[in-house]
Amino acid sequence: MNKPLRRIAIFCGVLIMALLVRTNYLQYVRADELNARDENRRVRIDRYAHERGNIIVDGNPVTSSVKTTSGDFMYKRDWKDGPMWAPVTGYASQAFDASQLEKIEDGILTGNDDQLFFDRTLSMFTGEKKQGGNVVTTLNGAAQKAAFEGLGNKKGAVAAIDPQTGAILALASTPSYDPSSFAGNSDKDTAAWQKLLKDKDKPMLNRALRETYPPGSTFKVVTAAAALENGLYDDIDAKTESPLPWTLPQTSVPLKNEGNIPCENASLREALRWSCNTVFGKMSDDLGNEKMIEQTEKFGFNKEIFTPVRADASIYPKDNRPQNAMAGIGQASNRTTPLQMAMVASAIANDGKLMQPYMVAERQAPNLDVIYTHEKEQLGQPLSGENAQKVQQMMETVVNSGTGTNARIDGVTVGGKTGTAQHGLNNSEKPYAWFISYAKTDSGSPVAVAVVVEDGNANRDDISGGGLAAPIARNVMKAVIDNK
């Protein structure tokens, strides 16, 4: 071969090699990145080219797929009782992608996950139509209905957990939305989507996981746990060193209690029963900010929680003495999600063991073979079994003869704590009503609940955790117990 031809051959060989390298780079190295790009319409077309697998509650699907009559997408998502289940499932839209379980479990639901490789390969030989797998949740349908209907037309959220396993039994948020209203790709779907985005009540906000509130007096159970764990107090029926009035440290401002209640030197049990701000504010100050932060972080504060859907971090902040005292009664910069407060109640109910909350029990192949089963995982031990039982006694007194009597269930031991959290600058807005609780039967504690209600239509004087939130918690707990 003469020299010019040899040069051309080498040059062509280099070009071919570069093309092969580039092709393999795109197909293997950048494949996942390119598949995830919003501009990649092929992926969305493939996602809705066949029936999507379902999200299962109590053995039944709460989702389905319906055939479309026009466009590139053959199927679109549909929901049964969409507004009730949206805080659990999220949405899956031909035009607006997906969220929550629909997004996180997309590989299983579309049938594209590596766990379904064998099924996809087998279908190539059998000629069967591609199908998605199913996601089996831990949710309890009766509890979810009780939570959603209990909230009604009020803003708020409910989170319920099985303390013994961490399984999420209910996750409700109101106002809610119907994911079916924008599941397609038409002008009507776009209009529904835009309307939801502009709604000042934020129906697409998952208040159970993504909204943080001042927890108010429900947080006093955490302060009590910190006092017991750090040896500040041991006997829940012995008097505390809690003068009345008590002035916030480094200030001339007295910390007030709600009404004329017996808080002077009150025992831990009586202080929780009557919800004494002075007792728990001084307790938080006596412990100090570092020990309070340490205790709250054992319960899960100051970090995101994954269920697998992400929950925002609840915050107990580094702060000065007066603010730390206020944070100890659930005010100041102390902010928490309903899920976090359900975790607090569940750890106390489970004799101090905090389990990792989760809502996916199983993943199923299209032929219903189980390809994944969740194994319960202990997240931590915020307090000893002995101290957890002491806090249980205190919370049970609250329900039996304190501010939480609206949570009583005949024949069932219930522990709880009410909260009415101040809201707005100088408490200018209507407060939030809180209730956290657990139910206890002969076989242990099957459910712990946190409820928060933002009732903008109620009279300010009528807003209380015992009045608004406790009945909802009671109905959720009863639904779980009756469903066992």
Cα 124 to Cα 136: distance, rounded to the nearest angstrom: 26
Within a domain: residue 175? no
Within a domain: residue 42? no
Phi, psi (deg, nearest 5) at residue 409: -130, 125
Strands 134-137 and 55-57: parallel
**DSSP one-letter string for 215-239:** -GGGGHHHHHHHHHHTTS---TTSP
Cα 392 to Cα 269: distance, rounded to the nearest angstrom: 10
Instruction: Single out the residue of 137, 72, 66, 128 nearest to residue 108, CA to CA.
Output: 137
Quote the domain boundaries for residue 245.
209-359+378-483
DSSP state of 181: G
Q: Are 466 and 474 in contact (CB under 8 A)?
A: no
Instruction: Single out the residue of 99, 171, 140, 161 nearest to residue 356, CA to CA.
Output: 161
Cα 123 to Cα 172: distance, rounded to the nearest angstrom: 38
Cα distances from 140 to residues 2, 359, 378, 478, in angstroms, run 80, 10, 21, 12
Within a domain: residue 465? yes
Query: In the prediction, which pLDDT does 461 show?
Result: 41
Instruction: Single out the residue of 105, 103, 94 nearest to residue 72, CA to CA.
Output: 94
Within a domain: residue 7? no
Biggest CA–CA distance in the chain, Å, is: 107
Query: In the prediction, which pLDDT does 373 show?
Result: 95
The whole-model pTM stands at 0.89
Instruction: Single out the residue of 314, 360, 311 nearest to residue 89, CA to CA.
Output: 360
Within a domain: residue 437? yes
Within a domain: residue 393? yes
Within a domain: residue 255? yes
Question: Sheet holding 429-441: strands in order across?
Answer: 168-174, 155-161, 444-454, 429-441, 413-423
Cα distances from 139 to residues 142, 202, 309, 341, 441, in angstroms, run 9, 24, 14, 18, 20
Residue 408 sits in a domain of what CATH number?
A: 3.40.710.10
Helix, strand and coil percent figures for the chain, each rounded to 5: 45, 20, 35
Within a domain: residue 308? yes
How many residues in the chain?
Answer: 484
Residue 87 CB contacts under 8 Å (≥ 6 apart), including other chains: 100, 157, 171, 172, 173, 176, 206, 207, 208, 209
Phi, psi (deg, nearest 5) at residue 9: -60, -45
Q: Per-residue pLDDT tens, the chain, 484 aa: give them.
A: 577 777 777 778 778 887 877 777 666 666 556 665 656 667 677 778 788 999 999 999 999 999 887 667 888 999 999 999 999 999 999 999 999 999 999 999 998 877 766 565 556 555 567 788 999 999 999 999 999 999 999 999 999 999 999 999 999 999 999 999 999 999 999 999 999 999 999 999 999 999 999 999 999 999 999 999 999 999 999 999 999 999 999 999 999 998 899 999 999 999 999 999 999 999 999 999 999 999 999 999 999 999 999 999 999 999 999 999 999 999 999 999 999 999 999 999 999 999 999 999 999 998 888 999 999 999 999 999 999 999 999 999 999 999 999 999 999 999 999 999 875 545 556 789 999 999 999 888 999 999 999 964 544 344 577 889 999 999 999 999 998 7
Cα 420 to Cα 414: distance, rounded to the nearest angstrom: 20
**DSSP one-letter string for 272-308:** HHHT-HHHHHHHHHHH-HHHHHHHHHHHTTTS-EESS
Q: Are 179 and 79 in contact (CB under 8 A)?
A: yes
Residue 21's H or E segment, with its range, is: helix 3-24
Q: Are 366 and 116 in contact (CB under 8 A)?
A: yes
Total domains, the chain: 1
Known catalytic residues are: 217
